[in-house]
Amino acid sequence: MLIIVPAREGSKGLPGKNSRDFCGHALIDWSLSAALYLQEKIGGASVQVTTDCPMILALVARKYGNKITARKRPAVLSSDTAAMADVVLDAADFSGMGRVGRYVLLQPTSPLRLLSDLENFAKHATMMGAQVSCTRPAEDPHDLIDITNGKTLVAAQPTTRRQDHSRYLRFVDGSLYAGDLTQLAKTRSFMPTQKTAFVPLDIPRAIDIDTALDWHMGLALYDWLIKKEAPFVRPAP
């Protein structure tokens, strides 16, 4: 199995975010630490960061040595139009796996992951098919309307209590993906139809950092987790 952390240098929303300091460590450090934790839990997996950023290549070499392989990503896979499926397949080719075996994908823009969520996902990651993490929505999806026609997107029974609306609803949070490389090469999708298992996370809010506002929301979630003494993955000093 190959655990992949992709980190493109260019970011229009928040330039240089992956190497930027987040709560005492580079943003990517949080996902690299989560990757090593998963490696421990799964066994037999290797970890690779694929990036076109010289700062991240230097960070990985200096801090992680031979624990993590650093792949200098080709320019053709470093644009904002490059498909993530192609990035993962390129990483697998570079590792020598080709299109055979399984992958786990951790996006560096989701830095905060509970230990319990990683342990649970590790159990699912070796199963057949694809696995995708999902989280409770921050807002009640029954309040969503299509402004072109005024229709509610998710119907709710009028007698249902508001706090019960979202009991079984989750959204794909982008934090954790796992799947089969052969299937990914065939479908170019991380959620192939009828072959995807959705793994609910316990973390109360999913953070996907793409903007300055996302960044500050991530800092707020970090402070909340500290106050709650919630066990989550933290990078080594």
- CA 105 to CA 116: how far, in whole Å? 18
Q: Is the separation of the CB atoms in 25 and 59 below 8 Å?
A: no
What global pTM score does this model have?
Answer: 0.90
Q: Kindly report, residue by residue over 201-234, the tens digit of the pLDDT.
A: 988 888 899 999 999 999 999 999 999 999 999 9
Predicted pLDDT of residue 168: 65
CATH number for the domain harbouring residue 64: 3.90.550.10
Q: Which helix (H) or strand (E) holds 22?
A: strand 21-22
Task: Quote the domain boundaries for residue 107.
Answer: 2-137+169-228
Largest separation between any pair of C-alpha atoms in the chain: 59
Is residue 146 in some structural domain?
no
Q: Is 189 exposed, middle or buried (0-12, 13-18, 19+ CB in 10 A)?
A: middle
Handedness of CA 168, 170, 175, 180 (dihedral sign): positive
Q: Kindly report, residue by residue over 112-159, the tens digit of the pLDDT.
A: 999 999 999 999 998 888 999 998 877 666 667 888 887 776 665 555
Is residue 58 in some structural domain?
yes
The contacts of residue 121 (CB under 8 Å, 6+ apart) are 38, 131, 133, 176, 178, 199
Q: Kindly report, residue by residue over 153-195, the tens digit of the pLDDT.
A: 666 555 556 555 556 677 788 899 999 999 999 999 999 877 8
Please compute the mean of the pLDDT values over residues 53-82 and round it to a whole number: 94
- Count the domains in the chain: 1
Dihedral over alpha carbons 144, 12, 72, 49 (to 10 degrees): -40
Is residue 145 in some structural domain?
no
Is residue 148 in some structural domain?
no
Predicted pLDDT of residue 77: 94
Is residue 237 in some structural domain?
no
Predicted pLDDT of residue 141: 67
Mean pLDDT of the chain: 89
